[in-house]
């Protein structure tokens, strides 16, 4: 069985990764969304084990030492990381996995999973991005400024990704991502075994 596709989705704070992610989850039920671990405090409405696994700094550092994280990064003033085992098991089962992580973490994944698909969600403009972060109303002024400043820096790093998707409308952006996933899964390099099946007189897509 072919391994699942590892899809990495990055984008600056406030670009709408969460909203686009929810649409993807509804449209592609077999996609496994990795739930990250973080030392940041939950925002109102966020649920343990659904949005994040919220842990203390000591516990997070222990996970790093034990090699339990596939990647991790310090983003703003907190640690974020991807639990390793559940992701690797899903990929082995042939399930596609989506990681919604920052550019530092994506770099770590790229070195270990060169066959991953790296997507960057861009805002239609920087002004729109500012308005969205302010509109969310969940950050202190100091934190807002930190996020604005790093947004531009992060956008510069988008050049290293495979695809950009503009989040003008979340539904449209999600559809574009689904098209990319479909096309990636049809790449010959991921399907060389099908040629062998045909050569053996087998059937690869029988009615
Ligand atoms: P937020 O605090 O807004 O939920 O997330 C802040 C940033 O951390 C976002 O850019 C998000 O993509 C990133 N992030 C969330 N989970 C992870 C993770 O597991 N690893 C890394 N490297 N970044 C993450």
Query: Does ligand 1 come within 6 angstroms of the Cβ of 151?
Result: no
Please list, in sequence order, all residues whose beta carbon lies within 8 angstroms of the beta carbon of residue 166, skipping any fewer than 6 positions away.
121, 122, 123, 124, 173
Q: Ligand 1 pocket: which of 9, 84, 105, 140 to mutate (most atoms <8 Å of CB)?
A: 105
Q: Is residue 51 part of a domain?
A: no
Domain of residue 102: give its range.
Answer: 6-34+94-199
What is the number of structural domains in the chain?
A: 1
Q: Is residue 84 part of a domain?
A: no
Q: Is residue 108 part of a domain?
A: yes
Q: Is residue 88 part of a domain?
A: no
**pLDDT, averaged in runs of 10, over the chain (207 residues):** 91 92 94 97 94 97 98 94 98 96 96 96 92 77 81 90 97 98 94 91 89
Q: Is residue 52 part of a domain?
A: no
Residue keyed to tokens 């999600």 = 174
Q: Do 19 and 170 contact (CB within 8 A), yes or no? A: yes
3-class DSSP assignment, residue 53: strand
Burial 182-206 (b: 16+ CB within 10 A, else e): eebeeeeeeeeeeeeeeeeeeeeee
Closest protein CA for atom 17 of ligand 1: 101
**pTM of structure:** 0.92
Please list, in sequence order, all residues whose beta carbon lies within 8 angstroms of the beta carbon of residue 17, skipping any fewer than 6 positions away.
9, 10, 11, 100, 121
How far is the centre of ligand 1, averaged over its atoms, from the C-alpha of 101 (Å)? Answer: 5
Strands, sheet with 69-75, edge to edge from the N-terminal-most edge strand: 53-54, 37-38, 78-83, 69-75
Burial group, residue 157, by CB count within 10 angstroms (0-12, 13-18, 19+) = middle
CATH number at residue 161: 3.40.50.300
Q: Is residue 81 part of a domain?
A: no
Which pLDDT does position 13 carry in this prediction? 84
Which pLDDT does position 86 carry in this prediction? 98
Which pLDDT does position 79 carry in this prediction? 98
Q: Is residue 53 part of a domain?
A: no
How far is the centre of ligand 1, averaged over its atoms, from the C-alpha of 15 (Å)? Answer: 12
Q: Is residue 193 part of a domain?
A: yes
Which pLDDT does position 132 carry in this prediction? 85
């Amino acid at each position: 069985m072919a391994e699942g596709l590892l899809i990495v989705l990055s984008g600056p704070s406030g670009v709408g990764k969460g909203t686009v992610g929810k649409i993807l989850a509804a449209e592609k039920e077999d996609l496994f969304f990795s739930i990250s671990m973080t030392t940041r405090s939950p925002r109102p409405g966020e649920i343990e084990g659904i949005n994040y696994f919220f842990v203390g700094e000591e516990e997070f550092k222990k996970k790093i030492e034990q090699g339990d994280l596939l990647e991790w990064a310090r983003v703003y003033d907190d640690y974020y990381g991807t639990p390793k085992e559940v992701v690797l098991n899903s990929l082995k089962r042939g399930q596609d996995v989506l990681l919604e992580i920052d550019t530092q973490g994506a770099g770590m994944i790229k070195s270990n999973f060169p066959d991953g698909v790296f997507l960057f969600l861009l805002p239609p403009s920087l002004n729109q991005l500012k308005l969205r972060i302010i509109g969310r109303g969940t950050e202190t002024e100091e934190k807002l400024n930190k996020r604005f400043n790093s947004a531009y820096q992060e956008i510069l790093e988008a050049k290293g990704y495979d695809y950009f998707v503009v989040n003008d409308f979340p539904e449209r952006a999600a559809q574009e991502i689904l098209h990319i996933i479909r096309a990636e899964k049809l790449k010959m390099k991921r399907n060389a075994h099908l040629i062998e099946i045909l050569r053996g007189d087998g059937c690869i897509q029988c009615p």
